[in-house]
């Protein structure tokens, strides 16, 4: 498992999670009758200490720096944090709701005489007990979501058939199928054997073309085997790849020669034109900027896509392989018909077939199909993951089918 953040940032996240949980416990204890506050606080502190022990032990092992111990520490720390952090957030939401209910109750007019309450039947749940039970749903549901996300991560990637419609598509390209593989991250949670199983599953769908859009292997020992495994499929139009940021992070001077020695053609700032019957399809691969700064990413991809377009003949169907979906805007402006991207992992959390973060970042293309004029994009959620957590956003290996739309 690769950590989502380096150790110092993970420690900050851990301490922030504990602080949030501690504030939540304090707020919830204030909502209790005075006689019960101390007992509730002691029980809550004991529960928090037990929950915090696992990630704390994990980070201690991680800090040792030794291979096996550090790897175990990363797994312990991040597996526990995936459950602990949502639980703390849910607990905080419950505490705010309890505080609001208490404040509303305090707004009743002071000094008003109330009749003594009638004793409730033994089988009836009091209003206070009902509220307490309702508040417990939030942290329990959050913890359950964390557990579910971890449990879903090992599921086999789905193979959706995505039909993309294009006006005036050449008849010889109608029905052409492209197997799109991205973010395999072989050596982290998936391995070459998983790729072999996937290729056996998609064989009946007979893809005409296989494309890779970066981050193929984090264990470079598996990269050569993966490329050879793909070559053995021999789709009629071939196999092409573009670079992702992990090819650079794993030292491009080591990864690029592995591609170039294989029979999978690597496209970097260039393209090739293929014949498909009497039609032509131009496949180009954008480079990856590696950096995170959005302005620099956009500037870099603007130049890379421009270089890719220079070689594309007019009249050909133009396909761009770009690890990051930020390449879609310059691709659409330059007349690429279809862009295939990955990188985002769909945010690893989905809702109704879209990334759960799409509403927060409407200008990003996090997962699924998008359109700009006559240009189309598909961003895959990826075949693998660098951190094994998936909730409503399964891993996938989409097959893109070109469909002719009447003009």
User: What is the reported pLDDT for 284?
Assistant: 98
CA pair distance 208, 133, nearest whole angstrom: 56
Q: Which two tokens stand for residue 133?
A: 């039970």
* Crossing angle between the packed helical segments 67-106 and 127-152, to the nearest 10 degrees: 160
Q: Is 84:55 a contact under the CB 8 Å cutoff?
A: yes
Q: Is 229:198 a contact under the CB 8 Å cutoff?
A: no
User: What is the reported pLDDT for 74?
Assistant: 74
Q: Is 217:226 a contact under the CB 8 Å cutoff?
A: yes
Q: Which residues contact 194 (CB under 8 A, 6 or more apart)?
A: 156, 157, 186, 384
CA pair distance 25, 46, nearest whole angstrom: 11
Q: What are phi and psi of 212, to 5 degrees?
A: -115, 130
User: What is the reported pLDDT for 132?
Assistant: 53
Q: Is 43:51 a contact under the CB 8 Å cutoff?
A: no
Note if the pTM is more than 0.85: no
SS3 per-residue string spanning 330-360: HHHHCCCCEEEECCCHHHHEEECCEECCCCC
Q: Is 302:287 a contact under the CB 8 Å cutoff?
A: no
Other CB atoms within a 10 A radius of the CB of residue 29 amount to: 19
User: What is the reported pLDDT for 124?
Assistant: 47
pLDDT, averaged in runs of 10, over the chain (407 residues): 67 84 76 64 74 83 72 73 73 71 63 54 52 52 51 76 95 97 92 96 96 95 96 96 94 95 97 96 96 87 96 94 97 98 91 88 93 97 85 94 88
At residue 101, the 3 state secondary structure works out as: helix
Q: Is 298:304 a contact under the CB 8 Å cutoff?
A: no
CA pair distance 21, 15, nearest whole angstrom: 10
- Specify whether the backbone of 206 is left (phi greater than 0), alpha (psi in -120 to 50) or beta: left
CA pair distance 383, 356, nearest whole angstrom: 18
3-state helix, strand, coil in the chain (%, to 5): 50, 20, 35
Across the beta sheet with 239-242, the strand order is 161-167, 399-405, 177-181, 209-213, 239-242, 265-266
User: What is the reported pLDDT for 278?
Assistant: 96
* CA 246, chain centre distance (Å): 15
At residue 25, the 3 state secondary structure works out as: helix
């Amino acid at each position: 498992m690769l950590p989502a953040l380096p150790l110092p940032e993970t420690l900050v996240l851990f301490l922030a999670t504990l602080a949030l949980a501690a504030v939540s416990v304090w707020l919830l204890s204030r909502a209790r009758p005075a006689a019960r506050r101390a007992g509730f606080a002691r029980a809550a502190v004991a529960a928090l200490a037990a929950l915090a022990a696992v990630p704390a032990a994990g980070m201690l092992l991680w800090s040792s720096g030794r291979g096996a111990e550090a790897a175990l520490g990363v797994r312990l720390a991040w597996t526990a944090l995936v459950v602990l952090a949502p639980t703390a957030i849910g607990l905080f939401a419950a505490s705010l709701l309890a505080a609001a209910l208490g404040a509303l109750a305090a707004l009743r007019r002071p000094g008003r005489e109330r009749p003594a309450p009638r004793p409730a039947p033994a089988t009836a749940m009091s209003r206070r007990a009902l509220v307490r039970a309702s508040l417990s749903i939030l942290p329990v549901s959050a913890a359950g979501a964390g557990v579910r996300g971890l449990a879903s991560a090992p599921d086999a990637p789905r193979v959706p058939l995505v039909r993309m419609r294009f006006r005036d598509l050449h008849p010889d390209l109608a029905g052409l199928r492209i197997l799109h593989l991205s973010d395999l991250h072989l050596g982290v949670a998936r391995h070459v054997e998983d790729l072999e199983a996937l290729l056996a599953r998609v064989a009946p769908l007979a893809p005409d073309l296989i494309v890779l859009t970066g981050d193929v292997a984090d264990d470079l020992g598996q990269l050569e085997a993966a490329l050879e495994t793909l070559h053995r499929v021999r789709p009629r139009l071939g196999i092409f790849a573009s670079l992702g940021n992990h090819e650079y992070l794993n030292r491009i001077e080591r990864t690029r020669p592995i591609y170039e020695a294989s029979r999978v053609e690597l496209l970097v700032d260039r393209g090739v034109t293929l014949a498909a019957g009497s039609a032509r399809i131009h496949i180009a691969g954008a480079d990856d900027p590696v950096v995170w700064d959005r302005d620099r990413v956009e500037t870099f991809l603007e130049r890379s896509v421009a270089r890719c377009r220079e070689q594309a003949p007019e009249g050909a169907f133009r396909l761009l392989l770009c690890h990051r979906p930020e390449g879609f805007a310059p691709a659409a402006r330059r007349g690429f018909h279809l862009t295939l991207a990955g990188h985002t992992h769909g945010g690893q959390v989905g809702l109704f077939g879209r990334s759960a973060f799409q509403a927060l970042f409407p200008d990003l293309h996090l997962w699924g199909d998008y359109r700009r004029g006559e240009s189309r994009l598909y961003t895959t959620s990826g075949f693998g993951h660098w951190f094994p957590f998936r909730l409503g956003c399964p891993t996938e290996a989409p097959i893109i089918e070109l469909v002719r739309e009447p003009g």
